[in-house]
């Protein structure tokens, strides 16, 4: 932080506001005071720069903590989803195993009956029939029946062998799924331990940051810095997407005025334009919601920003065309990446408390050509 030329000029001019008659006598004293003031200013600058440096480092640490937490939560959700799918597959395999086992028992009884029948008839059934010297037509019928029984016996035995093979394959699949589930449970516990550690680290950083911002001036400076950073991002994004072409069949954002749903269910913690205790006015609305609740796109659009922004935490911005954008901040995690198209109602993030806020909630803005709009005019309810 540097002292402006105006402030320096004021300080210097104040040193020379003395009667002319004392100018010569006080010159030496004034020079000494000037040297003292310069020294004090340099000392103050060093102190302010040190505080600023500490604050910046804390904010950087906070960003790192919250990014780690967001990634861990996403990984945990992925493992849970995989485990659910694997559990369902395991249940299907067990059901299939039960059906195959029932079939195996039934077929085993059939095979035992066929083997017993074959043993009773002996191994030379056809030759015995021919040597019985019975009526040729009767012999022909008996031979046909005999051939039929042989084929039926072979089919029963073949089905039994096939069932045994299927049962072996399913049993192997069940063991494989059980082993994978055990590994995933272990990974899940490990990630949960990492998450607890990251959350503790975040809280320590927040405590340090709170001490740095204990004064109103410190908090105000931080809010101004956050707002400036967000505005610069919006302006830069606006310039970057100016040349993009939106689909011609897309319903214009302006035609949905007053018809859109809020991005998440929750109590509005502030009103648009409301003056805060520090004098800054709100340019959006904070919706108090449960951590992990879905954040949904209010209108079809393209993701133009999906990353961490100091002061906003995990932030996602959608471009809706015609200069309209919607902003969703303080998310726990982001479900979409830059360049992706989303439809109205698609889940794009989860409610969180990133960006240093104490309670979970979604910070929501609508802008046109970079200028904030009142969300209550656009969203109903």
pLDDT for position 346? 96
- pLDDT-wise least confident of 239-248, 278-287, 356-365, 370-379: 239-248
pLDDT higher than 70, residue 250: yes
Mean pLDDT of 31-40: 48
pLDDT for position 152? 62
pLDDT for position 30? 47
- Which range, 23-32, 74-83, 90-99, 354-363, has the best average confidence (pLDDT)? 354-363
Q: Report the distance separating Cα 101 and Cα 96, nearest Å.
A: 9
The residue written with tokens 């105006």 in the block is 6
202 or 367, which is more confident: 367
pLDDT higher than 60, residue 44: no
pLDDT for position 267? 92
Backbone angles phi, psi at 214, to 5 degrees: -65, -35
Q: Are 336 and 304 in contact (CB under 8 A)?
A: no
pLDDT for position 373? 94
pLDDT digits (tens, 9 = 90+) for 325-339: 999 999 999 999 888
Mean pLDDT of 343-361: 92
| pLDDT band (50, 70, 90) for residue 219 | low
pLDDT higher than 50, residue 323: yes
Share of the chain above pLDDT 70, in %: 66
| pLDDT band (50, 70, 90) for residue 134 | low
121 or 115, which is more confident: 115
The residue written with tokens 């039994």 in the block is 160
Radius of gyration (Cα) for the chain, nearest Å?
A: 39
pLDDT for position 318? 95
282 or 65, which is more confident: 282
266 or 62, which is more confident: 266
- pLDDT-wise least confident of 25-34, 145-154, 183-192, 199-208: 25-34
Q: What is the dihedral of CA 306, 312, 314, 317, to 10 degrees?
A: -30
Mean pLDDT of 175-186: 81
109 or 366, which is more confident: 366
pLDDT for position 347? 96
Give, as one character, the DSSP assignment of residue 21.
G
pLDDT digits (tens, 9 = 90+) for 1-35: 444 444 444 444 444 444 555 456 555 654 554 45
pLDDT higher than 50, residue 51: no
- Say whether pTM exceeds 0.75: no
Print burial letters for 143-157: b (CB count within 10 Å at least 16), e (below 16).
eeeeeeeeeebeebe
| pLDDT band (50, 70, 90) for residue 256 | very high
Residues making up the chain, counted from first to last: 381
């Amino acid at each position: 932080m540097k002292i402006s030329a105006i402030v320096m000029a004021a300080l210097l001019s104040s040193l020379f506001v003395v009667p002319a008659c004392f100018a010569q006598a006080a010159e030496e004293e004034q020079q000494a005071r000037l040297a003292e003031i310069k020294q004090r200013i340099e000392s103050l600058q060093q102190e302010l720069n040190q505080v600023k440096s500490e604050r910046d480092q804390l904010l950087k640490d906070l960003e790192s903590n919250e990014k780690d937490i967001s990634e861990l939560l996403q990984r945990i959700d992925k493992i849970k989803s995989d485990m659910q799918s694997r559990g369902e597959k395991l249940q299907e395999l067990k059901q299939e195993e039960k059906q195959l086992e029932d079939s195996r028992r039934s077929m085993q009884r059939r095979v035992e009956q066929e083997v017993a029948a074959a043993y009773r008839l002996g191994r030379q059934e056809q030759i015995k029939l021919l040597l019985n010297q019975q009526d040729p037509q009767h012999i022909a019928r008996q031979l046909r029946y005999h051939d039929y029984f042989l084929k039926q016996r072979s089919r029963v035995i073949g089905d039994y062998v096939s069932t045994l093979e299927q049962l072996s394959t399913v049993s192997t699949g069940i063991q494989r799924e059980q082993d994978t589930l055990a590994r995933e449970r272990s990974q899940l516990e490990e990630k949960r331990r990492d998450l607890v550690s990251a959350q503790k680290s975040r809280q320590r950083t927040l405590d340090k940051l709170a001490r740095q911002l204990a004064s109103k001036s410190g908090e105000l400076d931080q809010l101004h810095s956050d707002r400036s950073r967000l505005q610069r991002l919006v302006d830069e994004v606006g310039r970057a997407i100016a040349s993009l072409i939106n689909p011609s069949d897309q319903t214009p954002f302006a035609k949905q005025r007053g018809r859109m749903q809020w991005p998440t269910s929750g109590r509005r913690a502030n009103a648009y334009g409301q003056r805060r205790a520090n004098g800054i006015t709100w340019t959006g609305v904070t919706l108090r919601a449960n951590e992990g609740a879905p954040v949904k796109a209010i209108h079809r659009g393209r993701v133009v920003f999906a990353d961490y922004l100091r002061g906003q935490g995990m932030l996602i911005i959608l471009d809706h065309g015609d200069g309209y954008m919607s902003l969703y901040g303080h998310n726990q995690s982001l479900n979409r990446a830059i360049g992706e198209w989303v439809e109205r109602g698609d889940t794009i993030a989860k409610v969180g408390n990133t960006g240093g806020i104490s309670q979970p909630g979604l910070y929501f803005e609508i802008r046109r050509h970079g200028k904030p709009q009142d969300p209550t005019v656009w969203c109903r309810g």
